[in-house]
Amino acid sequence: MTDSIQPIEPGRDIEALLSASGLPTADLRDGAKVTLFACTRDSQLRGVVGLEMRGQVALLRSLAVPSPERGSGIGAALVSHAEQYAARQGVDTIYLLTTTAAEFFERRGYRHASRETAPAAIAGTSQFAGLCPSSSAFMAKPVGG
């Protein structure tokens, strides 16, 4: 059976995976406009990624893959799927914050940026404004054509 990546609503399994990965979940049900995509195989959750769409920019967030699945390409497939989705929605640039995966994102074309250069739409997200520590790497990648 092959993997499938589809939109998904936040639920206990998603929140458990994010929590186990040390990622925030508090804002998922509190009005943040996050589109989540799950990678599944045989109805088993293999990974998740989220996009917080903000007009022509988006915040990539909530990328989590269970420990036994890491290194299998699921994370890269989820990021690629999210980037393609964002580009189809008219997003020019995707931003993200990470404390542990800067090298992973660098390999996928993301570049470090100064937090002071964040567009207001990104700076206003709960992730940027407080859920992610100020020591997080802030990164960006153009995706628009």
pLDDT at 82: 97
pLDDT at 3: 78
**pTM across the whole model:** 0.92
pLDDT at 113: 95
CA 118 to chain centre: 16
57-64 and 4-8 beta bridge pairing: unpaired
Burial class (CB in 10 A: 0-12, 13-18, 19+), 58: buried
Domain boundaries, the chain: 4-142
Architecture per CATH, domain 4-142, reads as: 3-Layer(aba) Sandwich (3.40)
Mean pLDDT by 10 residues, the chain (145 residues): 82 90 79 85 90 94 87 92 96 94 95 94 86 83 85
